[in-house]
């Protein structure tokens, strides 16, 4: 979000990266990530959410996770194979 604010204030990429690095230290995003984000905002991007990606969508859901947890809670001494067959 700081990238977007700095861009609106007329700051350049290098100034923005220095501010991010000063604020977050070792937890700061990499120089390349910051540059890509700054460039996207400069091109008119308005959101920091993920872009849709091509390819097959994920098929796993929380329903599967909850079913497996229920099986494991019911029978603590299951092997991986038996737990997979039960879920």
How is the chain split into domains, by residue range? 2-42
**59 half-sphere exposure, CB direction, 13 A CA radius:** 2
Residue 19 pLDDT: 87
pLDDT tens for the chain, 87 residues long, are 667 777 778 888 888 888 888 988 888 888 888 888 888 888 887 776 666 667 776 666 666 777 777 777 777 666 766 666 665
Contact assessment for residue 41 and residue 8, using Cβ atoms and an 8 Å cutoff: no
Contacts of 83 (CB under 8 A, 6+ apart): 68, 71, 72, 75
Give the whole-angstrom CA distance, residue 63 versus residue 60: 8
Give the whole-angstrom CA distance, residue 47 versus residue 17: 19
Give the whole-angstrom CA distance, residue 73 versus residue 58: 26
């Amino acid at each position: 979000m700081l990238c977007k604010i700095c861009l609106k204030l007329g700051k350049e990429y290098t100034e923005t990266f220095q501010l991010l690095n000063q604020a977050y230290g070792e937890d700061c995003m990499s120089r390349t990530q910051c540059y890509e984000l700054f460039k996207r905002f400069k091109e008119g991007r308005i959101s920091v959410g993920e872009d849709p990606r091509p390819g097959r969508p994920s098929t796993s859901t929380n329903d599967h996770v909850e079913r497996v947890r229920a099986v494991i809670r019911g029978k603590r001494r299951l092997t991986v194979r038996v737990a997979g067959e039960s879920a």
